[in-house]
Chain A
């Protein structure tokens, strides 16, 4: 039951979001770059919270807790372990060089960056198609997970279909008028709220269960399998190794993450983000892991998808109604901060990379079309979320795998001057086809040699890029100079040019 105080908390929360949307619309310029990239003026805190909040989905709090409920503490290292390091490293590996190209040539999306490097419309189109294809399931995962949690916490008072409408509508309230600036401002607010409330929630649940030590001792006595990674088949070493190629390296390929990196004001901002990102991710996944494992002894007996409701169930059973409202706000914050960025990025991709292929649009018209497309994609996501084609983790794994196998082309484009458009096209198409054949079980399981499909597909992507590039003509010298000449000036500046003095700004 939601009390008057609870309704008040929700009202304040929603008012702040609406206020941000209204104010953001007033200060935003009616240009494409301002609407989709916030004028490339994001400072360290803005980029950090935008990346952090955008990358926190329903899975972080719902799926991870549910997974930990089933497999134990090992779920922590399995899901986020490698990501703690490699995700911020990819901000350097791919993010910084892409940011340099964006600053120099005005690129705003992956199709523009990599189509520009290879001087190829086809590479650009393939990036566009694949990113849209993989982002939509990822977006739906967020809506499904958030709606389930919303319904559970409200004790069924808000049905699933209505939860989806509420979540999507609130996301649109500030995203439509204010674009990236609106989503980043709300990310700062919602990310901070999420971190604070999640920490408090962990402490409150621990207290309700008798304290940190007491609940852990109970796990040792009643469910010791939670402590040992070697006992769970789900996180067996071969799966553990394979998963390194899904969750962690896919993040930089997400269009909403990539765009936010391009929107940074200075390389100084990206460095700060890369430095502190590991602690934030480790902290938030640590909280959801502990809640899930504790739930395995506090509320035992949940099976399969039921385990995904462990956090709402813990709140419902052990904490006061006020916590239910705070939990609801956190769930909303988590879900919306990813949904708004995903909606904006797919709208951006279509507006900036597809629409100009069929219609000449001015910068102002692009903003108009971007807003229309936000609504179109929101309705599409809502419809698919109602159909719910597969379990949350399965959809996420499929989307993540698809993103991951695009990374070799991105790295090759930024580091290997010999890579050409033929190699890039082949390395985008062939591994994606193979991934589908494995997921749809058209190919027998033994063809992955026991690994998850993403790993052989990732290796195929590297081999294809190298083999096809070597088998075909190298890129013209002027084309290579456009990209690698720029990099030479940055990474060899000891030859006389001084690095720009960084100005730290929020």
Chain B
């Protein structure tokens, strides 16, 4: 898969997560959904689930678009070009 396509998929994941966070239309459920485990109202338990979703999203992003550096890329540390002030 082309890396630009992978980056586009990453952007899509970010957009979905952003929309889920700003899902104001779900706020009505604060009054309707019963307490999870007896002590977690919807406004709270939503973000417990969101955290698990975030972990899954990061796993997908890492698999899709986070390659390790090729071997030898940093071997020439001696020829680093220090920042000139």
Task: Give the B-binding residues of A (Cβ under 8 A).
Answer: 72-74, 76-77, 80-82, 84-86, 88-89, 92, 96, 100, 103-107, 112, 115-116, 121, 124, 206, 212-213, 215-216, 220, 227-230, 237, 240-241, 244, 266-268, 271, 274-276, 278-279, 281-283, 286, 289-290, 353, 356-357, 482, 486, 489-493, 497-502
Beta-carbon contacts under 8 Å, B34-85 to A = 35, 37-44, 46-48, 50-55, 57-59, 61-62, 65-74, 77, 80-83, 85
| Pairwise interchain contact A81-B50, C-beta atoms closer than 8 A | yes
Q: Given A227-B41, A279-B55, check contact A241 B67 (CB 8 Å).
A: no
| Pairwise interchain contact B43-A73, C-beta atoms closer than 8 A | yes
User: Which residues of chain B are near A121, meaning CB under 8 Å?
Assistant: 85
Task: Give the A-binding residues of B (Cβ under 8 A).
Answer: 3, 14, 17-18, 21-22, 24, 27-28, 30-31, 35, 37-44, 46-48, 50-55, 57-59, 61-62, 65-74, 77, 80-83, 85
Q: Given A227-B41, A275-B55, check contact A500 B82 (CB 8 Å).
A: no
| Pairwise interchain contact B30-A85, C-beta atoms closer than 8 A | no
Chain A nearest Cβ from B46, distance in angstroms? 7
| Pairwise interchain contact B22-A240, C-beta atoms closer than 8 A | yes
| Pairwise interchain contact B58-A500, C-beta atoms closer than 8 A | no
| Pairwise interchain contact A84-B47, C-beta atoms closer than 8 A | yes
Q: In the docked arrangement, what's the CA distance between A14 and B21, Å?
A: 41
Q: Given A77-B21, A116-B83, check contact A267 B69 (CB 8 Å).
A: yes
User: Which residues of chain B are near A103, meaning CB under 8 Å?
Assistant: 69, 73-74, 77
CB contact between A85 and one of B17, B38, B40, B85 (< 8 Å): that residue: B17
Chain A nearest Cβ from B83, distance in angstroms? 4
| Pairwise interchain contact A80-B83, C-beta atoms closer than 8 A | no
Closest chain A residue, CB of each to CB of B28: A230
Q: Given A76-B44, A244-B22, check contact A100 B83 (CB 8 Å).
A: no
Apart from A82-B17, A213-B38, list 17 A-B contacts with CB within 8 A: A77-B43, A84-B51, A92-B62, A104-B73, A229-B27, A244-B18, A244-B21, A278-B58, A282-B54, A289-B44, A497-B70, A497-B71, A497-B72, A497-B73, A498-B71, A500-B68, A502-B68
Q: Given A72-B43, A76-B43, A282-B48, check contact A274 B17 (CB 8 Å).
A: no
CB contact between A74 and one of B17, B43, B66, B85 (< 8 Å): that residue: B43
Q: Given A229-B30, A275-B58, A499-B67, check contact A240 B51 (CB 8 Å).
A: no
CB contact between A216 and one of B21, B38, B71, B77 (< 8 Å): that residue: B38
Q: In the docked arrangement, what's the CA distance between A400 and B41, Å?
A: 29
| Pairwise interchain contact B73-A500, C-beta atoms closer than 8 A | yes
Nearest 3 pairs of A and B residues by beta carbon: A282-B51, A497-B70, A212-B39
Chain B nearest Cβ from A500, distance in angstroms? 4
Q: In the docked arrangement, what's the CA distance between A502 and B71, Å?
A: 10
User: Which residues of chain B are near A85, meaning CB under 8 Å?
Assistant: 17, 21, 50, 53-54, 57-58
User: Which residues of chain B are near A268, meaning CB under 8 Å?
Assistant: 68
| Pairwise interchain contact B70-A240, C-beta atoms closer than 8 A | no
| Pairwise interchain contact A96-B51, C-beta atoms closer than 8 A | no
Closest chain B residue, CB of each to CB of A274: B58
| Pairwise interchain contact A213-B39, C-beta atoms closer than 8 A | yes
Q: In the docked arrangement, what's the CA distance between A499 and B71, Å?
A: 6
Chain A nearest Cβ from B67, distance in angstroms? 6
